[in-house]
Amino acid sequence: MAGKRYLMAPGPTPVPPEVLAAGAAPVIHHRGPDFRELMLRTLARLQQVCRTENEVLLFTASGSGAFESAIVNLLSPGERVLVVTAGAFGERWCALAAAYGADVHELRYSWGETPQPEDLRARLEETGGVEVVVVVHSETSTGVVADVEALARVGRDAGALVVVDAVSSLGAVPLETDAWGLDVVVAGSQKALMTPPGLSLTTISDAAWARSSRSTMPRYYFDWERMRRALESGSTPFTPAVTVVAALDAALGLLLEEGVDAAFARHASLGRACREGAKAMGLELFSPDEERSAVVTAILTPDGVDARELVLELRDRFGITVAGAHGELGSRMFRIGHIGYYDVLDITTALTAVETLLVERGAPIERGVASARALEAYRGAERV
Amino acid sequence: MAGKRYLMAPGPTPVPPEVLAAGAAPVIHHRGPDFRELMLRTLARLQQVCRTENEVLLFTASGSGAFESAIVNLLSPGERVLVVTAGAFGERWCALAAAYGADVHELRYSWGETPQPEDLRARLEETGGVEVVVVVHSETSTGVVADVEALARVGRDAGALVVVDAVSSLGAVPLETDAWGLDVVVAGSQKALMTPPGLSLTTISDAAWARSSRSTMPRYYFDWERMRRALESGSTPFTPAVTVVAALDAALGLLLEEGVDAAFARHASLGRACREGAKAMGLELFSPDEERSAVVTAILTPDGVDARELVLELRDRFGITVAGAHGELGSRMFRIGHIGYYDVLDITTALTAVETLLVERGAPIERGVASARALEAYRGAERV
């Protein structure tokens, strides 16, 4: 083996060489003109990708840090938040809000189910007095991508602010912050934005700013107002991850050069190719077989094939990192991420390796069928 | 001008090329064997540098994130904390603890003063019931390095836990976590550890763990126990800044190869060289003229020379980034950082550029005197 590595998890994701190089430039000081220019350009590019004129804040933290910023800036202890949860990340939002003393209610689905706007409407009416609704756009643990536009409309109709967890969807799946009236969108650098992990962002509407000025949850590092004041002059209150900012700026440049709509189309095609290739091997999908499921494809193994062993063998024999599944799904499911710096030949690489291992285990699969079907399904991409 | 840049601020600091290269390697997944090995090695190296057998936690955050973790894990609202403050970072600790509802008391000095153990003893007796004492090791805003060993002894004698802010001192100035009985030490990646910003660490004694299990301040992202559980198996609860971890690991390898004691001696010599060079130009020091002041040298400009203009001109004409001063000191003071990837020729570079600008402004300085004196003062370094 050449020792090559293929990162095919739904985050962190592969980073283009020019982005890695941008992050390896000598460190610059965060209170000077070089950084100011870099930071202001990065924030403007993030606005373009988020399709918003709202301010964007950038925290040196994992995506969950941005989650925390949304909770502690929008709510006071005892205030009511409704989390739409259908997987690991919905559950994290609940735990986080509860840790800060919010009155947490859930619209809870089984893992793998797709949240429905009518369920949310009913739950909001039944609960009453909900100040903030949290919706996970792409539930990375299951591959489900929710219809955020419709869910947000229901939330707004009920008078709640709408917070969207777009950590694994931003840049991969259509998201219209302003057109859909999303008050807060949070995301991380390490998914479809093709950047190493270390930064997380949040967009904030006027209504969200107004709530944050009244909310009394304790906060310091993740205080929005402190960050806004500093960013206005292109700096940050605390030393930021300057090399990751440089990388993010470069990655956003590439993404905007491709075009955000083109990136959405590419990801939709990647998802379709992955699903069709998996089905061609006779595998059952756990994530929905629908166009929106463009971030990560969750696949069930055939009876008798342990998914954990499959994941380990993909890594040890082919250098491929795919993701396993959480909890009791762990023995039956694996997940192929396909966001960011990713093209259809990455899909065929992943499927070819999976096919090889399954054939070795006696699965009745015609060799090459997964790749062939994936390429066929990847319509509209220039390179195919 | 060749457009070369010289980063001579007290953080972020210059990063060795091999550390930048380590951070530019392809991203690896944070829940796999490659990362596990990297993370466990990095934590073990941090223990060596901190000279502790206590667990070290590593957060994806600026140093102030580690500050926040110490406050929210050690205290319950209303509990008493005493902060020894003599500059910007002491003030930040006070503001942070107050934001979380601690009962904050201060032993407050003017900026530039050096905290005295007898003052702390008196203040602790007078205050009574102090649960936690916070001491800033190196006050980056003034260049003062406190006698943490003596201050910690006083804190412990009063029955308080001792938290040390070693953000700009770790790796530059002697710090003995276990031998001095320091309960919590916090630091960042971007100072003497020669790594880009983005990671902060905290060491935690048994007594601090015991307090954290009882403390009721709300927390999630910075919760110690959640981080400990994940790190035990070499991962993290939230996607960490994996490329910065790779860089930190490489930098710690270089630091341990040099030897921590050798690094302390080098920094002491760098501080001495900088002070002697500045004095040779007839400049007045703001930071103490003592061996411990090895992190950053704060220098007052001659009458009639605006320090802000000097800092801008150093940047525009020579590409040199030094730090200005906060608040009303801004017009009179600048700060040369000399930590991390730094040798005596960096000192002479900084002094030569300062000398040039001062001579142009009519200062009666014999050309070359600063460098000559700095090299002479830099005793014991192999390269001179």
User: Min CA distance, A18 vs chain B (Å)?
Assistant: 10
Same domain, A127 and A217: yes
Q: Tell whether ipTM is more than 0.90.
A: yes
User: Min CA distance, A366 vs chain B (Å)?
Assistant: 31
- Strand-pair partners of A162: A133
Contacts of B313 in chain A (CB under 8 A): none
Quote the CA–CA distance of A9 and B89 in Å, as a whole number: 40
How is residue A106 written in tokens?
Answer: 């859930």
Q: Is the backbone of residue B344 left (phi > 0), alpha (psi -120 to 50) or beta?
A: alpha
Q: Give me the number of domains chain B comprises.
A: 2
Same domain, A53 and A196: yes
| Residue A202 within any structural domain of the chain | yes
| Residue A5 within any structural domain of the chain | no
| Residue A327 confidence (pLDDT) | 83
Q: Which helix (H) or strand (E) holds A344?
A: helix A344-360
**pLDDT tens, residue by residue, A155-197:** 999 999 999 999 999 999 999 999 999 999 999 999 999 999 9
Same domain, B285 and B250: no
CB A73 within 8 A of CB A96: no
* Chain A residue closest in CA terms to B198: A241
Q: What amino acid occupies position B68?
A: E
* Chain A residue closest in CA terms to B59: A61
List CB contacts of B9: < 8 A, sequence separation 6 or more. A29, B321, B322, B323, B335, B337
Same domain, A182 and A68: yes
Last residue of a domain, one of B212, B237, B258: B258
Quote the CA–CA distance of A99 and B187 in Å, as a whole number: 26
* Cα Rg of chain A (Å, integer): 21
**Could you tell me the pTM of the whole model?**
0.97
* Chain A residue closest in CA terms to B21: A24
Same domain, B267 and B224: no
| Residue B4 within any structural domain of the chain | no
In the block, residue with structure tokens 């190493």: A196
Same domain, B211 and B333: no
CB A154 within 8 A of CB A117: yes
Of B12, B30, B101, the CB nearest to A12: B30
Of B25, B29, B315, the CB nearest to A32: B315
User: Min CA distance, A96 vs chain B (Å)?
Assistant: 6
Contacts of A4 in chain B (CB under 8 A): none
User: Min CA distance, B162 vs chain A (Å)?
Assistant: 21
How is residue B199 written in tokens?
Answer: 């990671």
Q: What amino acid occupies position A110?
A: S
* Chain B residue closest in CA terms to A8: B29
In the block, residue with structure tokens 């219209």: A176
Same domain, A349 and A216: no
| Residue B383 within any structural domain of the chain | no
Same domain, B217 and B96: yes
CB A22 within 8 A of CB A247: yes
| Residue A106 within any structural domain of the chain | yes
| CA-to-CA separations, B382 to A334, B266, B273, B293, in angstroms, rounded | 56, 10, 14, 21
B109: domain range?
17-258
* Chain A residue closest in CA terms to B60: A61
**What's the first-to-final CA gap in chain A, in angstroms?**
28
Same domain, B72 and B216: yes
**pLDDT tens, residue by residue, B118-150:** 999 999 999 999 999 999 999 999 999 999 999
* Chain B residue closest in CA terms to A239: B62
The reply to whether B312 touches chain A by the CB within 8 Å rule is no
User: Min CA distance, B224 vs chain A (Å)?
Assistant: 14
Quote the CA–CA distance of A10 and A274 in Å, as a whole number: 13
Quote the CA–CA distance of A318 and B88 in Å, as a whole number: 52
The string of DSSP letters for A31-71 reads SSHHHHHHHHHHHHHHHHHHT-SSEEEEEES-HHHHHHHHH
Of A5, A65, A239, the CB nearest to B188: A239
Assign residue A128 the CATH number of its domain. Answer: 3.40.640.10
A-interface mutation test, from B243, B334, B339, most A Cβ less than 10 A away: B243
Assign residue B346 the CATH number of its domain. Answer: 3.90.1150.10
Going residue by residue through chain A, which has 384 residues, state the pLDDT in tens, using 9 for 90 and above: 568 899 999 999 999 999 999 999 999 999 989 999 999 999 999 999 999 999 999 999 999 999 999 999 999 999 999 999 999 999 999 999 999 999 999 999 999 999 999 999 999 999 999 999 999 999 999 999 999 999 999 999 999 999 999 999 999 999 999 999 999 999 999 999 999 999 999 999 999 999 999 999 999 999 999 999 999 999 999 999 999 999 999 999 999 999 999 999 999 999 999 999 999 999 999 999 999 999 999 999 999 999 999 999 999 999 999 999 988 899 999 999 999 999 999 999 999 999 999 999 999 999 999 999 999 999 755 444
| Residue B141 within any structural domain of the chain | yes
**Strand, coil or helix: B104:** strand
Quote the CA–CA distance of B136 and A46 in Å, as a whole number: 36
Band (pLDDT 50/70/90 cuts) for residue B383 is very low
CB B5 within 8 A of CB B319: yes
| Residue B6 within any structural domain of the chain | no
CB B60 within 8 A of CB A61: yes
| Residue B124 within any structural domain of the chain | yes
Contact A221 B7 (CB under 8 A): no
The reply to whether B29 touches chain A by the CB within 8 Å rule is yes
The reply to whether A26 touches chain B by the CB within 8 Å rule is yes
A-interface mutation test, from B193, B239, B244, B311, most A Cβ less than 10 A away: B239
Handedness of CA B366, B370, B371, B377 (dihedral sign): positive
Same domain, B279 and B315: yes
* Chain A residue closest in CA terms to B316: A33
The reply to whether A230 touches chain B by the CB within 8 Å rule is no
The reply to whether B76 touches chain A by the CB within 8 Å rule is no
Last residue of a domain, one of B237, B258, B279: B258
- Strand-pair partners of B188: B200
Same domain, A147 and A23: yes
The reply to whether B10 touches chain A by the CB within 8 Å rule is no
The reply to whether A229 touches chain B by the CB within 8 Å rule is no
Residue A216 CB neighbour total at 10 angstroms: 11
Same domain, B26 and B162: yes
Residue B1 has pLDDT above 60, yes or no: no
Last residue of a domain, one of B224, B258, B292: B258
